[in-house]
Structure 1
Amino acid sequence: MVWQVLFAVMIEFLGLHLVARGREVIVVARGFQGRSVTSRGEVVRLRVSREGVPQKPRYSHVYHPVLRFVTADGVRVEAESPVGANPAPAQPGDVVAIRYDPADPRQVRIDDLRGRGTLVGGILIGLGVTFLTAALGLLILG
């Protein structure tokens, strides 16, 4: 019985952490959304980053699009989106809807569900709620 309570508390802690992190991702994304403006940009290349544990033979590749666009003021900008994905969110040569911060045009994202950050935030919140529900189930049924 004690181990079930401890396990439930650990799962609950993980669930709360995931919900908080998901909320944070959405708040940051909405802040960017509120101060950014829309435009069209061309994907000029993809920067590939490797994520994972170096001791393991498997890495996950994440593709960050480098975008070229012209601001409303006529300034030509080339900047990398901080939001990467696998598979790549777009391919070199693609023209995509973007959002950029007029105060700092190098802050740019592809204007889609992944690029806005709401997808990742929603997934984290969903996982967190799932863990919280599991913890509650362990306490009630255990």
Structure 2
Amino acid sequence: MKNFNVHKVLMCLITAILFCSFGGSVLYVRHFVNNAMEGKGHVTNLVRSNSKNGYVFKPVVEFQTVDGARIEFTSSMGTSPPSYDVGDNVTVYYDPKDPHSAMLSDWISMWGASIIVGSLTVIFGFITYMMYFRVSFKTPRRRRKSAKA
């Protein structure tokens, strides 16, 4: 029986979970945008949030639904420096059944999470591949010549 390596199985499992998460993230955004209503809004405020490297700024956006309701939401993605200024006009996608579930139509808000998870999937997939096939970047050792009697 071959040696069972727990770390290889764990890396395969993590890679599979990341791959599924990436696929789910892409499908969620596509489904959301395909079923969402498009609206025009404007940035009313910038919320400063703590991050690992300092601060990020998340735009607070107000828009009007087709029904005439005024909705305000804070974007889930923040940047430093801020991507928007107060008063900027923006395009918003929102769920007509739940208008508070809204998303800015910019690249980072829509695809940022998918890109991050996809990048992690590629990194873990590469490491898993290297572990599985025992690829090593070490210089191979020379074999000793056996002494003949």
TM range (shorter): 0.7 to 0.9
Residue 44 of structure 1 corresponds to 44
Query: What pairs with 1:10-29 in structure 2 (closer than 5 Å)?
Result: 10-29=10-29
Instruction: Tell me how far 1:95 sits from its aligned partner.
Output: 1.0
Residue 54 of structure 1 corresponds to none
Q: Determine the C-alpha separation between the residues in 1 that align with 2:34 and 2:27.
A: 10
Instruction: Tell me how far 1:60 sits from its aligned partner.
Output: 4.9
Bigger Rg, structure 1 or 2: 2
Structure 1 runs of 4+ aligned residues shifted over 4 Å read none
1:120 corresponds to 2:88: no
Residue 71 of structure 2 corresponds to 77
Structure 1 residues 22 and 63, CA, compared in 2 at 3 Å: closer, same or farther? farther
Q: Determine the C-alpha separation between the residues in 2 that align with 1:85 and 1:46.
A: 9
Aligned AA for 2:9?
V
Counterpart contact for 1:50–1:60, Cα < 8 Å? yes
Tell me, what secondary structure is at the counterpart of 1:86?
coil
Residue 137 of structure 1 corresponds to 130
1:66 corresponds to 2:60: yes
Residue 145 of structure 2 corresponds to none
Q: Determine the C-alpha separation between the residues in 2 that align with 1:78 and 1:123.
A: 27
Tell me, what secondary structure is at the counterpart of 1:141?
coil
- Which range is displaced more, 20-29 or 91-100? 20-29
Q: Determine the C-alpha separation between the residues in 2 that align with 1:90 and 1:115.
A: 12
Report the count of equivalent residues: 132
Counterpart contact for 2:60–2:74, Cα < 8 Å? yes
Instruction: Tell me how far 1:8 sits from its aligned partner.
Output: 3.0
Instruction: Tell me how far 1:45 sits from its aligned partner.
Output: 0.7
Instruction: Tell me how far 1:59 sits from its aligned partner.
Output: 5.8
Specify every segment of 5 or more residues in structure 2 that has no aligned partner in the other structure, as ranges: 136-149
Alignment identity in percent?
23
Q: Determine the C-alpha separation between the residues in 2 that align with 1:91 and 1:111.
A: 16
Cα RMSD over matched residues?
Answer: 2.5
Tell me, what secondary structure is at the counterpart of 2:133?
helix
Instruction: Tell me how far 1:42 sits from its aligned partner.
Output: 0.6
Specify every segment of 5 or more residues in structure 1 that has no aligned partner in the other structure, as ranges: 52-57
Counterpart contact for 2:58–2:79, Cα < 8 Å? no
Counterpart contact for 1:46–1:92, Cα < 8 Å? yes
Aligned AA for 1:122?
I
Residue 88 of structure 2 corresponds to 94
